[in-house]
Amino acid sequence: MRLTSDAFPGGDKIPQEFTCEGDDRSPPLKWSGAPKETKSFVLLCEDPDAPRGVFRHWACYDIPAYHTELVEGAGRPEGFEDFRHGINDFDELGYNGPCPPHGHGVHHYHFRLLALDCAELPIRTHPTCKEVEVEARKHLLAETELVGIFHR
């Protein structure tokens, strides 16, 4: 599988509008090459460079297998989506972008796409991002990632 964004190439800086210093909206993401057995996707965004360990910015799950992208801003739950969002480490539902401490250096943001063998995760309503990942790994068919960087 392959995960890309029209907003930034892998390894490059995430534009400000997708961070806490901008509009804090999720970037557009596209994917291809999922296994034909895929029944759903999970999209995760994490910062392993956070001072206290991995900081989870987003978990989007139960994304139907016919999806091949999430449009810009899809990380803000509107209520009409055909997928669900987890509670991030900001204690909010949906996406909150990069927001590392000032002067902490470059942080790497891992957008990871997981292809699953189930259409819906057997998980409670409004799970944490970590709970989404733990349950998703039990159904994993394939995984890919896109890494962007940001610092303040």
Domain count, the chain: 1
Q: Domain range spanning residue 114?
A: 2-150
Sequential pLDDT tens for the chain (152 residues): 999 999 999 999 999 999 999 999 999 999 999 999 999 999 999 999 999 999 999 999 999 999 999 999 999 988 778 999 999 999 999 999 999 999 999 999 999 999 999 999 999 989 999 999 999 999 999 999 999 999 99
- Domain CATH number, residue 66: 3.90.280.10
Q: Which tokens in the block code for residue 19?
A: 């961070």
Contacts of residue 53, defined as CB under 8 A and 6 or more positions apart, other chains included, come to: none
Coil, strand or helix at 41 = strand
List beta partners, residue 112: 44, 145
Q: How far apart are the first and last CA of the chain?
A: 32
Eight-class DSSP state of 72: T
Block residue for tokens 């999922």: 34
